[in-house]
Structure 1
């Protein structure tokens, strides 16, 4: 009887002190154009424990570090042909990009995380319009232009 009580106590103690790893809620914003993928990450984790994310704990795609480090945000700005970013043509006018953000924490109480990222962009230029495919692109008329 005494052995079973001791065994139960040891099992309960092991469960109470067993190290647990947690996920951190990472605030990520993504934008894209036909040529660029821009990912912005807040260093302030949304986990309620006031956790701070260091820039070297984040990797975009296949080994791309932050391109600019601000006190309030990490920027990852890359050409869509870099970092293993995958491209899909959705339609004649839309292109879709996919990649991942990897979080590899310094602190062992947090788990490694993979955050899937997706963004779609227009394949049409917003600056130039053509009347037909045989003509050169025309600059849209503006009220600021004069007929000289």
Structure 2
């Protein structure tokens, strides 16, 4: 997940004027977030940055996280323990929310379907979001963003 570090925000104009310096810093491992107005429009990242650009790989990784979470929730439910998603699932949903809301929708729908299949009954979006709310907060999503994600899951 890329969190924009405020000391690494650079305007488009400044990025043009200091491009060689920014490239040197990228070689040294520093990431720069290029902004236009209040919007981050690009990232200048080191060549070794971990970027997943293969949809099949991303799908496999996300699906593995969700399957593991469903197994954990099923075990907790069967033992009578309180249930909620773990931090890895929270990180996955926060990353998807911040980087690609369509992917967030797809992953959330997949999680609903997996929980429904595992639980032997249909789960609705509100129930599932209640399971991930705390994990998303723990993974760094602020209250207003958690609320926005919750509202989105109920309208999709």
Please give the TM-score of this superposition, normalised by the length of structure 1: 0.21
Normalized per residue, the structure richer in helix is 2
| Larger Rg computed on CA atoms | 1
Normalized per residue, the structure richer in strand is 1
